[in-house]
Amino acid sequence: MPKNPEPPPGDPTADAATEPTTVQLSAAAATFALLSSPPRLHLVWLCAHGSYDVGTLAQRVGVSIATVSQHLTKLRLAGVLTARREGRHHFYAVDDPHVLTLVDQIFEHIAPDGSLAPDPPLRR
């Protein structure tokens, strides 16, 4: 029996096998929604670059400890952050390499003034 030929480039069915599922799309949208808050994104950025307790995070982000605690709980429950206990303190970090890549990629794409950073030159 002959094998089905590959669909031509630009064919809408070409990527159907790798197209995200409805469940994947919902989970991705929920993750982006979770990260759409500037203080929460700041917390994730900080925790991607070190391990911090709640008081330090509150000071760095400029919001109350109570507010930071609420954000950290949401991020931890979503699996974006991890927490470890040392004595009476919890230290938060990002251990997931996918989250680390996502955070690094977005801030490579956004310039310090908030504009989109230019694409790096193509390598030849």
Q: What are the pLDDT tens digits along the chain (124 aa)?
A: 555 555 566 666 656 779 999 999 999 999 999 999 999 999 999 999 999 999 999 999 999 999 999 999 999 999 999 999 999 999 999 999 999 999 999 999 998 899 988 777 777 6
Which tokens hold the place of 71?
A: 């954000």
Q: What is the pTM of this model?
A: 0.80
CATH topology for the 38-124 domain: Arc Repressor Mutant, subunit A (1.10.10)
Q: How many CA atoms lie within 13 A of 17 on its CB side?
A: 3
Domain spans in the chain, listed from the N-terminal domain onward: 38-124
Which tokens hold the place of 45?
A: 């950025």
Residues 73, 114, 116, 60, CA torsion sign: negative
Which tokens hold the place of 65?
A: 């400890």
